[in-house]
Structure 1
Amino acid sequence: MPDDPAPRTAARFRSGSATLPPPAEAPDAAAAPRAVPRGADPLDALYERPGFKLRRAHQISLSVFAEECRAHDVTNTQFGVLTALRHRPGLDQVGLSQVLGLDRSTTGMVVGLLERRGLLRRDQPSTDRRRRVLALTPAGEELLDTLAPAAERARQRLLAPLTAAEEATLHALLDRVLSHHDAAVRVPLRRGEPAAED
């Protein structure tokens, strides 16, 4: 599911505002696993895995967002869908899943929920009767405006332990990892205009 809209983009870091060391060489796959020191928690190796830390950080991000937006009954993923539809008019459900990096079943479930709440609608373009273009309703637009301060508070709370420089470095490192692996995952993120459905 997509998180709070990132205030910085990969392009900003490429411009030189955050300097990173060159990527480290991949470790030797044949290297023996490190022995657990006497008295150490055997789960420490698990807790040090980057995937575990990223998953835990995602859980915390969702929790912080839910707390800040509880009064509006909107999840992080729903906020992402509403935001995408405001800034990318003309998306159909497939295009929406592409720009958010969501699988189609999750996208369909969230779209259906927001439609039932009267926050978005499906329009049929006159140029293609097979497509259903998604658009925010006036209620959806109003909710998104109302949510903006709460979403920003959630972002600030999540990053509160970091200095401005550390925050920039975090974004740059995450961008590096994401851009390296994105094309290989089952649901890649498509920045820019999504591909049209056949």
Structure 2
Amino acid sequence: MKKDDNAFSVDAAEESPGFLLWQVTSLWQRAIRKALEKYDLTHSQFVLLASTLWLTQQDEPVTQILLSAHSKIDPMTTSTVLRTLQTKGLLQRKEHATDTRAKTVALTENGEKVTRQAIKVVEKFDKDFFEPLGAKTSEFNRKLRLLLEQ
């Protein structure tokens, strides 16, 4: 039987990088959600908290737009998540000293404590989750960075 070029191939799905990435991402997200439950954080909230902590160590004010660019979370979602984190008392947002359109972001004392605890849990989780890659983890990370650079 002649194969139709437009026909969907079941075998092809197992070799589709997008489908495989989606499956692995779904597994990873489900498990990371469970790991972060005890901190009452979504993964997006964790990413923005951890990014705030990391960017605070650089010598420039942490702004919402900088957080958005660093985390690859769109600006509107970033703003919404930051507002939620502010309500939880984990960070504070203030007017920027020189740019009236911008807001600076800083962790509260409790926010820094929770973030540091959650980072340890997430790092352990990632180590365990990606352990099957073994010595190929660095190569895997390098290839993921290639995709981010597009």
Q: Could you tell me the TM-score, scaled by structure 2's length?
A: 0.83
Residue of 51, 75, 87 corresponding to 1:116:
87
User: Does the 8 Å CA contact 1:64/1:157 hold for their aligned counterparts?
Assistant: no
Q: Structure 1's 51 and 113: CA in aligned 2 closer, same or farther, altered over 3 A?
A: same
Residue 176 of structure 1, CA deviation? 2.2
Listed as ranges, the gaps of 5+ residues in structure 1 are: 1-31, 37-41, 182-198
- Tell me whether 1:177 sits opposite 2:147 in the alignment: yes
Q: Structure 1's 149 and 95: CA in aligned 2 closer, same or farther, altered over 3 A?
A: closer
- Alignment partners' CA distance in 2, 1:154 and 1:175: 20
- Alignment partners' CA distance in 2, 1:112 and 1:47: 40
Residue of 131, 155, 160 corresponding to 2:131:
160
Q: Could you tell me the TM-score, scaled by structure 1's length?
A: 0.64
Q: Name the SS for the 2:89 alignment partner.
A: coil
Q: Structure 1's 130 and 172: CA in aligned 2 closer, same or farther, altered over 3 A?
A: closer
Residue 35 of structure 1, CA deviation? 7.9
Which structure's residues are more often helix, by fraction?
2
The structure, 1 or 2, with the larger RCO (C-alpha pairs under 8 Å, 6+ apart) is 1
Give the CA RMSD over aligned residues.
Answer: 2.2
User: Does the 8 Å CA contact 1:68/1:153 hold for their aligned counterparts?
Assistant: no
How many equivalent residue pairs? 143
Residue 143 of structure 1, CA deviation? 0.4
- Tell me whether 1:134 sits opposite 2:97 in the alignment: no
Residue 126 of structure 1, CA deviation? 3.5
Residue 67 of structure 1, CA deviation? 2.1
Q: Name the SS for the 2:132 alignment partner.
A: coil
- Alignment partners' CA distance in 1, 2:40 and 2:75: 23
Structure 1 consecutive aligned stretches of length 4 or more whose deviation exceeds 4 Å: 32-36
Q: What letter matches 2:47 in structure 1?
A: G
Aligned to 1:185: none
Listed as ranges, the gaps of 5+ residues in structure 2 are: none
State the identity %.
Answer: 27
Q: Structure 1's 50 and 121: CA in aligned 2 closer, same or farther, altered over 3 A?
A: same
